[in-house]
Amino acid sequence: MPYSPKKRGYTILLATIILAVAGCLHPDEEISIQPLPAMEGRTDPGLGPGTRPLSSGPGYKGSPSWSPRGGRIAFTVDGYVVDKSVTAGDLRRWTTRDFGAEEVEWTSKRGLMILGAPPLGAPSEASRVVYRTSSEEGSLGVEEITTNVLAMSPGPRGGMIVALERGDSGSGLALMRPNGMIDRVYTSDIEGHVTGISLSPDGRMAALAVRTLGDPFELRVVDLRKGEHRRIARLEEGLNIFGAPQWTKEGAYYVAGRAEASGGAALYDLYHVPPGSDAPRSAPGVGKDFVAASIRVSPDGERLAVIGRLNPQSPTNLYVLDLAAGELEAVTTNEDMEIKTGQDDLAWSPGGESVAIVARGALSGEPSVHAAPASELLDDFYNLYEVPVEEGAPR
């Protein structure tokens, strides 16, 4: 996989810990750091009351996905796929360690679909591969289902909605069954490449972010029953849509922005396109200075989980936006934690009672040597946390 700058702090810290615990061992001897039981020796993960860890130990983790009944959670660790019980530590590995997984989604209680990274050396926007796997004891085998995949999202009845590349500048939308068969092609060609896709809570519509040939982004919706797609917004030149737009009971929401002219971090805003409108506006309820990162609609379509900041100088937190009321509530109280802001780094539980996020102890960015045992340094690795949510407010 291409090297990611986000991994730099983790890589430096991991190397430091290995040097500290290796001592005078033979250089060919393999060294591993065993994960501790969640929260051993600690009482608060630093994200506020009620938050509890779902994983522990080293690793660059991401793409949490709840099982259909919510009893297990799958995620990626350094490019391979694992899952575990949300109440125990029975970690299972689904792929080899060098797999290169970018996203994982459950299709049944025993099966996963995995979006694999582009080939090594390919540009980051290159099309990807979808794989299928099942939890047979001792098996790490995967089955390649289809290539030329631009994006995927959970679909109806355990399937996947996939956007497939068609030529140099086109896309198509298809339904992939849990067994890997492409069951239905939904639309005629879509002009441009789909960069993000999500299904509406009722399973009838899909929202798409599309980068057109001339580079401007468009927001499109697809009626999956009729196979018709239409543009509902066209963004200003230079504005990019981050992640997948979300189709809700109150219309479409998406995160968009542009990189700072100075080359600094991009500042993204949350936008709303009400039903029947083609004019995006700032999302009501978040405030004019709010900086958005990633979003997910709740299973009932009435709330939006948002990772963001109240203003550019504020800490990053998880918020829940009540869409009908336009009211934003903080559901974490971040105490020096770094919450991961990738587009696939948060997920609602099936019942909508909690949200999984990915976070770690904030790093200074400077390499350092620690005399403490590795067990006391676990906060410096990304891990999954469950944040309880009830009607958009902390429990």
Rounded Cα gap, residues 53 and 35, in angstroms: 13
pLDDT at 123 (0 to 100): 63
**Which residue from 330, 327, 328 is spatially nearest to 318, judged by alpha carbons?**
330
Kindly report, residue by residue over 316-354, the tens digit of the pLDDT: 999 999 999 999 999 999 877 899 999 999 999 999 999
Q: Give the chain's residues under pLDDT 70.
A: 1-45, 119-126, 135-139, 259-266, 362-380, 391-395
For residue 216, count CB atoms less than 10 angstroms from its CB and return exposed for 0-12, middle for 13-18, buried for 19 or more: middle
Rounded Cα gap, residues 135 and 129, in angstroms: 20
Rounded Cα gap, residues 353 and 392, in angstroms: 9
In our burial notation (b when 16+ CB lie closer than 10 A, e otherwise), range 133-166 reads beeeeeeeebeebbebbbbbbbbeebbbbbbbbe
Using alpha carbons, list the distances in angstroms from residue 147 to 111, 131, 143, 181. Answer: 19, 9, 12, 13
Question: Do 340 and 384 meet the contact criterion of CB atoms below 8 Å apart?
Answer: no
Domain edges within the chain = 5-252+332-388
Question: Do 244 and 259 meet the contact criterion of CB atoms below 8 Å apart?
Answer: no
Q: How is 311-376 classified by DSSP, letter by letter?
A: STTSPPEEEEEETTTTEEEE----SSEEE---TTSEEE-TTSSEEEEEEEEPP-SS-----S-GGG
pLDDT at 10 (0 to 100): 41
pLDDT at 136 (0 to 100): 64
- The pTM (predicted TM-score) of the whole model is 0.81
Task: Give the pair of three-digit tokens for residue 181.
Answer: 């068969």
Task: Give the pair of three-digit tokens for residue 377.
Answer: 């340094």
Task: Give the pair of three-digit tokens for residue 99.
Answer: 């797999």
**Domain spanning 5-252+332-388, CATH class:** mainly beta
Rounded Cα gap, residues 271 and 322, in angstroms: 15
Kindly report, residue by residue over 33-53, the tens digit of the pLDDT: 333 334 433 445 678 888 999
